[in-house]
Amino acid sequence: MTETGPPRRGKPPVFLERQSYRRRRVTDAARVLPFIGLLLWLIPLLWREEGEAAVRSSSAILYLFGVWFLLVAGAAVLSAKLAAQTCDGTAEAEGRGGEAP
């Protein structure tokens, strides 16, 4: 008699394995990265061009190259994570008898 209430009805909760959940989140991050980069590249269009608060073009170029470098570094990290997870999934599949994940 451990149940204190009526039995639950409906769909049972979905539990995903940690590795497949993480793989999906890394894939989602890889899909979103170009859009984040686009938004970051469009920020200089909002900067003032005249007056004392104007941003120097050299600062804007440094900003754009900084964003570009961060996008390349982020893509490299995500690519390495996806490759490592793919290799882990392949090794597990071979251990189970060659089934595809």
Is residue 99 situated within a structural domain? no
63: tokens are 């900003």
Is residue 4 situated within a structural domain? no
Is residue 88 situated within a structural domain? yes
Amino acid identity of 59?
S
Q: Read off the pLDDT of residues 39-73 as tens digits, 9 standing for 90 and up.
A: 999 998 888 888 777 888 888 899 999 999 999 99
Q: How many separate domains does the chain show?
A: 1
Q: What percent of the chain has pLDDT over 90?
A: 36
Measure the CA–CA gap between 28 and 5, rounded to whole angstroms: 39
Is residue 8 situated within a structural domain? no
Please give the pLDDT value at position 71. 96
**By C-alpha distance, which of 40, 33, 37 is closest to 81?**
33
DSSP notation for 71-90 = HHHHHHHHHHHHHHHHHHHH
Measure the CA–CA gap between 52 and 27, rounded to whole angstroms: 44
Is residue 101 situated within a structural domain? no
30: tokens are 């890889």
Full domain range(s) for residue 80: 18-46+58-93
Q: How far, CA to CA in Å, does 8 sit from each of 11, 14, 16, 74?
A: 9, 15, 21, 44
Q: What percent of the chain has pLDDT over 70?
A: 73
Is residue 51 situated within a structural domain? no
Q: Is the pTM of this model over 0.85?
A: no
